[in-house]
Structures are given as C-alpha cells and as structure tokens.
Structure 1
Amino acid sequence: MVDQHCHGVRRDDPPRSGFEQLVAEGGAPAPPGTTHFDTPAGAAIRRWCAPVLGLEPHASAAVYLSRRTELGAAEVNRRLLRGAGVSAFLVDTGPEAPDLLGPAEMGRLGGAVADEIVRLEQVERDVAEAGLPAVDYAGALRDELAARAARAAGLKTVAAHRRWPGSDPSRPSRGSVIAAAGRRLADPKARLADPVLVRHLLWAAADVARERSLPIQIHTADPAGLTGFVLALAPLGVPVVLVHCYPCHREAAYLASVFPHVYVDAGLAVALTGAGSAHILRELLELAPFHKQMYGSGCHGAAELCYLAALYHRRGLARLLAGRIAEGEWSVSDAARIAHMIGSANARRVYRL
C-alpha cells in the first residue's frame, strides 16, 4: 500500500503521559483518574501492537509501555512501520520538529520509499519571518513555494482545519495582498489567519502545483465549505485530496463523486475507531468512485497509529469486498481491482510515484 498522508513519528520514547496524548485525536491528557488506553485506539494497541513488540495480545498498558521502553524508540518504530506493510510514505513535514522522523528516516525504518508533502503554512511562515518588505512578500512566497515543490510529491494546507477563511474563493488583488502583508509582517510568528493572505497562499500554491503536476492535500473537517474553492480550482486541473474529513467523510465522498479532480481518504479515523473502522470505509464506498479513494494513515507521533491504520484498512476493506462478492454485486476480479486502486494505484497515479 501507499500511505499517501502521514506525519513523522517520534524518534524518542515519550513518558506515559506523552504517549497517551499522541494516540488521542485531541492531543490533550485524559481526565484525572482515566486513561487514553480506554479508547478504541488504546484497546487496539494492546490487542494488535503488543504482539509486534513480542507481548501477548491484550497486554496491560503498563506492560506495553514498559516493553516499549525496553526495546527503545528506534526498534519500536522499525517493527511497527515495517509491520504496516507500506511500500511508500508521503510525509507531511510541517511544522518540522526535531523529535519527529523526517521522510528519509520514515522510509529507512519502514523499509519503504518516502517523499515529502510540503506544508503551505510552514513555507508562508518562513517567508514572513525573513524580514522582507510587504511589496516583496508575494514574489518571495511564490519563489519559495516553487523551490520546495521541486523536491516534493505534493502540497498540503491546513487552512480549512477548523473553518474555511471566508466565502470568497477568488484570487485577491495585488494591492490587497500587499496591504495584508504589511499587517502580517508586523507579527510574523502569529498563526496565519488573514483571509486575503490565506487565499493568496492557496492560489500561489495552485499555480505551482499546476506547473509541476502536483496534487494539493486539504485538511478539513468541513468538506462542504470547500465547494466554492474546489469549483474555482477545477479549470487548473490540479488534483485536490481531502484528508482528515471524519466525521464528515460522506460529504467528502460526495465532492469526490461530483468533481473530477477531487479525491478522498478515510485518514486517521481508521486507526482511532479501531474495530469500528469498517463502518467508515463502507460509507466511503457508498458514493465515492473507486478511482477517487486512497489510503492514508494520517498518523502523527506514534508508529502504532501507522500500524493500526494499515491493519484495519486491510481488514475492513477485505470484509466489505467479501460481502459484495457474496451478494453477487462484484466479481472476484472486480474486488481485487478495487482493492488495488484504493490501496496503491490511485496514489501512484495522482502523485506520479
């Protein structure tokens, strides 16, 4: 399989509190007196990751974490990343952190090839912190995006992570960009929030993506709110891959069915929902064309999430395909072709791997 959307995992061995935050979607500590091991993902770690580390299934959380420390982070990462059975990792490198593995290290430990997905907001922040005058901001951003895209497999934005910045999807004027850049450069370390500069960043990235035939990943929990921008982007022919869409993955599947340049994956929700993940995959299969679906673990920090996402994706998809075959809806060859498209072929085609 191709893991078309993941992040680096920790190169060190975090304490229990740190590890538990890595395997929780919100990244916050569990309430006092509770543990994130009492979640679908926590139970799945004890069931499926424990044997990979040489323990019995359902080992206690304390025993699991003790074994993790005994083996060391490098060996744990090697076992779990290789156990995922992934042939290629596409790694979002922003924001870069010294305690996370980069693409080359992910590939080496996972026994796979690895390429970079460039985070747009990280590029913008680097440009903003360079101390350029506002009139040079747009050109410098364009040049830096082009330079980083030259060695990447794709681009990614988190602008729609919480709410899409405004209803206007059009390109902002040069004057409005310069004016907004003046305000931005007064506080370059702040999170990019100005809707004019966000739209400018996205359109600059779209131009670079078109020139280099790269897709753009959009991290969004509100796919429906992207319709205007997705429609505006259609004439450029730039592939858009919707990631981290749960619990609105059905809306993402609808966009993938309507727009020829839109793709979708189930993302980290597969690992976090554990034994219930087949339901998410079933809902994507309801409408999204098979040539528009991809596999992406969405993992970040903990190699366990990479392993579990691959495991549950295979198990869930196999169960769904077997059901369609048993019902006479699909032939065996149909099912095999669909599994290949979703697991590998679509990503290889879109990312030109």
Structure 2
Amino acid sequence: MAEEKQGAYVEDEFRRDTRYIPTRITADGQPDGFAAEAGRYRLVVSRACPWANRTVISRRLLGLEGAISMGICGPIHDADSWTFDLDPGGVDPVLGIPRLKDAYEARPDGYKPGVTVPAIVDTTTGQVVTNDFRQITEDFATQWTAFHREGAPDLYPEALRAEIDEVQQLVYDDVNNGVYRCGFAGKQDSYDRAYDRLFGRLDWLSERLSTRRYLVGDTITEADIRLFTTLARFDAVYHGHFKCNRSKLTEMPVLWAYARDLFQTPGFGDTTDFDQIKAHYYGTHLDINPTGVIPKGPDNSSWLTPHGREELGGRPFGDGTPPGPPPEAERVPEL
C-alpha cells in the first residue's frame, strides 16, 4: 500500500509494516556498495508525510541541498504509488518517471511491502536504494559529513546517541506511530489503549520539556526533528481526523511553545506545508473520511506568535549557524 497506512491489523490494532529496504548509503560505500556522492542520489518525498518531512528538515539543516537533489510528490496518490503530479507533465524532471513505484520496481529484488516516502533513488540506475526513514536521517548526520555546509549542526552527537535513541524510540512507539494506532484502530478497545498511550507520552514530554528547551542536550538533535513532524500535524489532522482529541496542541502549553520554537527555527517551519498535509490525510484516507472534504481550518497564523522558550537557554545549532533561505523551487507557502 502506498499511503502511510501501510501495515496490518493484529487483533484490530494497527501494526505498521516496518520491512524497509536495509541498504545504506555510507561515507565509504560499505557494506552495500553505495557511497555518499554529490549529485548521484535523489531524495523523493511528499510534503504531507511526517516520515518524509524529517528527511527534508535534516537535509536543509545540514545543507545537503547541493549534494542530494529532491523530488516532491503530490499529496494525493492512488492505491499503488506516490506520483509526481506537481511536476510539469506529471513526470519527475530528474528521474523521468511519473510514479515512484517505477523506481521501486527497477530494483532487482522484487521489493513488495509498499511504495513509501521518503525514498532515495540512485539516479545512475533509477532504482530505490533505501526507504528506511530512520536510517536515512541518521546517515545524513553521520555519513554525509563531507558534504555538510559550513556551520552545520551536529544532529546526532556521539556522546548523546544512547539518550537520543532511548527518547526517540519512546516518541516513535507512543506518539509518531501512536496517532496512527488511534486513527486506524479497528475496535474501541484498541483505540482506547492507543489514545491512553499517546496522551500519557505527551504528558511525559510536557514534563520533560518544561525545564529544558530541547529533548536531549541543549541543542536541536534528531530527537527534536522526529517529534516536531507529529506535533506540526496534530491540530491540522490528528486531533479530528485521527480522533486524538483529549487536547489540541494549542491546549498543551509546554508542547505548543516547544513546537512554535522549532517552527520558527530555519529548517522547520519553512519545510512545513499545511495545505498539502490536510489534502493528503483528508483526501487519501477515504475509509476514515469518505466524503474527501478537506476542512478549511485551523488558522495557522498562531505558529508565528512568541514562544518564550529562549528563557530556558540552549543554542539551537550549538557551535554552528542557521541555514540560509531554502532554494526557490523548494519553498513552501508562507503563513
């Protein structure tokens, strides 16, 4: 299945299919023969997808735009594939294909689990190299260092990796994937369990972030990127569409301030497209929203209001600097 619902039901509980392509792109090309090389690979994403949005943020913060090109699929797709309907003629200008499925099918191993974004395609062969969203961003931070911009932050500092891994696993289980377990629950009991886990973890995160600006250490790390993409979609889609309705993000003061702090940091808000986010969830998940009607709200201008998180200290980019403006072709609509 192409959409983010890719998975199965076990006792009416949604279980995400995590059989991702294990191939990695590394600095020296080991162990799979794919070396980090400027101009060779194309990152394919959708602005709507939170898993893909992570890779867009990481690529921008690290300044990898010049080394890794980016193809952007539209927010609505069919049951088979994400498509390049935002491009002239509906064809990706670099890969020359109308459907991301074509790059998956070019693989010699007959990969079956589904056509997902993000995906990194080797432009020399037209084949998807990897779609493992968790590994992609870690490798951006650690394997592509030769191509990082001057002043790029360390998003996965070695001294903090154990804590980052621990925190982001909790976030993944209960929040990133937890909203989907709520939205796609097959029975009341499954929904209730997912709902309680989700808001229990959000309460835990609120407490953790009440005295610290970022999740781990005093700078932005991989953990913050992974939490942000779910928070950015919370009021727009998860609160109503996925029935995550104990509280809106705007009603959780610590998390709302934290999310605004990140949104107003270069690399976060300027990679977030609320219109495409809503179009995807409400227009693709027709089993949940049969009419396909896309709500006009909420009013997103409040994302730009002061957050006051500077009082907690911390340095967003550590010893580094903010990225410059995004390339013209990659800009999202301003609020």
After TM superposition, the score normalised by the length of structure 2 is 0.33
Structure with max Cα Rg? 1
Instruction: Point out the structure with the larger helix share.
Output: 1
After TM superposition, the score normalised by the length of structure 1 is 0.32
